[in-house]
Amino acid sequence: MTSLLAELRYPAVMGVVNVTPDSFSDGGRFLDSGAAVEHGLLLVEQGADLVDVGGESTRPGSDPVPAGVELIRVIPVIERLVAVGVAVSVDTMKSEVAAAALDAGARMVNDVTALRHDPRMADVVAAHGAALCLMHMKGEPKTMQDDPRYDDVVAEVSGFLEQRVAVAVAAGIDPDSICIDPGIGFGKTLAHNVRLLKELDVICEIGPPVVVGTSRKRFIGSITGREESDRVAGTLATSVMALEKGAAIFRVHDVRDNRDALDVAAAIMRLP
Ligand code: HH2
């Protein structure tokens, strides 16, 4: 099977479905699998090219969830979305969850630890011929926002991502199946997040398609003073600017608005 990344139209919109009680912006809304499936279908109708299903929050301060709980949350949702032809990625750092999700038809693993949490993850992704998103995170969700520091955030994040791509390829994962993500908000201050977006072209020059996840995040609230549910306009500014810098995949909650903003920006960018 060809890589999911080769099949996507770009810019690609990845809609977020969190089957969790505690995600920072939609926690508890889709814990029921029927509600989660319905929401995933709505996101596709609104223009999502793939749906990212997660059963463990990684928001700052969050606690880990056992694999058994994550499985119960995500597998029924993935099965039902796949059954109606939706391209699904699974947001997990556990190989057991990734394997079950891929067996259920998911096409991509979105590992926010970039293969560092679970030594078996690379083999699972390689064996299934799945796509893989490698994200940068400094520290762990529980403590990552406790005074994160960098000498040069762009150099550190891009060096890390280059190294993790090399690890993934050495483990037998097809280079054309890999995408990379600077991990906006994962062990980063407002200044770090804004700097990474300003110099996103450096990350894009590494080669693999770049994923950005700015949707409704705290740094947007720090700039605008708005609550999570009221950060769509701020998110759209980041999506359009990231597109201009070369980002390919946009992980968002508000699919309809991001789809429109990206399509209009892309139409302007396509002009000679
Ligand atoms: N952000 C979140 C979760 N997964 N994956 C990638 N690749 N990039 C991101 O920026 C990213 C991610 C956090 O957002 P959300 O899923 O809405 O919240 P929570 O982790 O609380 O479930």
Residues 185-219 pLDDT 10s: 999 999 999 999 999 999 999 999 999 999 999 99
Beta bridge partners of 91: 54, 110
**78, 104 Cβ separation under 8 angstroms:** yes
Cα(272) to ligand 1 centroid in Å equals 35
pLDDT score for 60: 87
Give residue 140's pLDDT band: very low, low, confident or very high (50, 70, 90).
Answer: confident
What is the identity of the amino acid at 86? V
**247, 204 Cβ separation under 8 angstroms:** yes
Average pLDDT (259-268) is: 98
| Ligand 1 atom nearest 110 alpha carbon | 7
| Ligand 1 atom nearest 18 alpha carbon | 22
| Ligand 1 atom nearest 213 alpha carbon | 10
| Residues with catalytic function | 217, 251
pLDDT score for 1: 66
Q: What is the pTM of this model?
A: 0.97
Q: Where are the domains of the chain?
A: 8-270
Please tell me if the CB atom of residue 54 comes closer than 6 angstroms to any atom of ligand 1. Answer: yes
**CATH class label, 8-270:** alpha beta
pLDDT score for 25: 84
Please tell me if the CB atom of residue 113 comes closer than 6 angstroms to any atom of ligand 1. Answer: no
CB atoms within 10 A of CB 174: 18
Supply φ then ψ for residue 167, to 5 degrees: -65, -45
- Residue matched to tokens 């992704």: 125
Please tell me if the CB atom of residue 25 comes closer than 6 angstroms to any atom of ligand 1. Answer: yes
**227, 252 Cβ separation under 8 angstroms:** no
CA 183 to chain centre: 8
Residues 83-125 pLDDT 10s: 999 999 999 999 999 999 999 999 999 999 999 999 999 999 9
Average pLDDT (256-262) is: 98
